Structure 1
Amino acid sequence: MVFVIFVAGLLEHDSGKTTLSKEIIKHFKDEENIIVQPFKPLSGNNLYYNFKEIRKNFDKYKEILSLDIIELVEQAETKVENPTINNPVHKLNTPAIPYEFIKEGVTQTYYNRFTESVALIQRFTIIEEENKSKNYYIINNQSYKNAKFFNEEEIIEELRKKAEKINTYSNEEEYIALNMDYYAKATESTFNYFEKKEKIILIEGFNNSAHPAWCVRKANIVILVGPGTIITYEPEKYFTAIDNYRMINREKLTITSDIVKLQKPDAMFRFSLNKEDLDKKIKKLIEEINKKKIK
């Protein structure tokens, strides 16, 4: 029976999820000779700010992939040929180019509406018949091939050529409808694929989302991480807290800070970046994980 670890972030950015996940994967590989299969159901990167890494990974894998999942897959040395299965939903965002707005004399439009990056393309990988994966893409008509936004048409056109299907959208309502069509199928079919084959799956969350996909409900241990901080939860307590929170806050996304306020952790400890101390705390965390495995 598969054992599932869910690692979520205490902060929206730079919680240290990937760093901690790599340490867990490394321990099981080196000390227990067990390959931990990493799984990141939802992710996003910025085409402009992460361009060098995205281009490098695209040249290698011919796909858009989470920068984090690449690190985890390479740490785990898994035998999966297609890492999109480890990362079924991935979105590239892109920024507007101020030059174009200033040139047209609409500088204030840029500052009023476009200082935040917008979606460009999103991939959904779905396992279908005979365990074959297929990639579906949705493209934002407002940003793709628009000179006011940073684009890399070579990447997008390569993806279009081999896509199972391409959909485009022009507003938020259409975007939400397409996500409803694909998101659950992608995250559930790929997780189920690994669930039948692996001993341990490590699910890495998205930003500070407390519940990025339904597969996290399969977790045997929940780990929250932030700067110098590791928290563990019994899954039943953690998900009960989420359900209680959602009963009152139906329209809000549930983030980890909401749960930490509601539910006392089972265990919590502080760590430093000193190698000796970090190794000691990772060992302590592994002991917590192994307690759950023994149960």
Structure 2
Amino acid sequence: MNEHEAQDFRCGMVALVGRPNVGKSTLLNALIGFRLSIVSPKPQTTRHRILGIANSEDGQILYVDTPGLHRGARKAMNRSLNRAARAAIAEVDVAIQVIEAGRWTDEDEAVRAALAERSLPALLAINKIDKLRDKEALLPFVAELTERHRFDEVFYVSALKRKGLQDLERGILARLPERAPVFGPDDVTDRSERFLAAEMVREQLMLRLDQELPYATTVEIERFADREDGLAEIHAVIWVERDSQKAIVIGARGEQLKAVGAAARRSIERVFGRRVFLKLWVKVRTGWGDDENALKRFGYTD
């Protein structure tokens, strides 16, 4: 890239922030064209800041998917998620608050308050517009919302249907600094395959376990190696907080654990583009979700 091209090229970091379950991870995946962040219908599926890279002729957008900012953070895990989201806001050039079409809650209000602490461009992305039958009902909702809160621009999107994304990208690029790209043209994230493998195992736990149990689980990769036969060999431990939870994750005759492993292996193979040998164990560590040392071991850092 020559000097003239660098002057026209834009690059910067963009935080996707919002309360849990508004579709931030689905939006990230749609914007970068790659299934990077895991997705489930359960809130607080995202537990880490995840960088996704979108390249175009005009710029390189470094999207940061964040855990949902939420209230009632009693456990150390919940406090860690909130710190991670707030830290992302402090690092970026542009912030996008993602909300659900037609809904504005106390937690949305808290997210807007966190954004107001920094003087940076703040865009509003109203997601899930595909679920609204009466689109005109949004007009008074948005008018009242933008009267109370300043947003530099409002965008209507459907992350699931990939609608409105070009306009959103245009609005983002217009507010990024002129800067040479940070990553290569084929990069999609700065996260390792080891991290992505753990997330894809955890995604299956989120999808397959009922009620509160997924929040008592985390995944640690103990071995990750490329074998001579071309397989990626992955050994992963699923940590839970009680023996009763271990029994549920394993299931009768080990069927639940087998189903989690088979689905996770298929997901990992699609993303990695090679065959995978995946071995899972389930172990108990009492109260890991409220143990700062355990959280650091499992990668939950600010």
Structure 1 length as normaliser, TM-score? Answer: 0.33
The structure showing larger relative contact order (alpha-carbon pairs under 8 Å, at least 6 residues apart) is 1
From the two aligned structures, give the one with the greater helix fraction. Answer: 1
Structure 2 length as normaliser, TM-score? Answer: 0.33
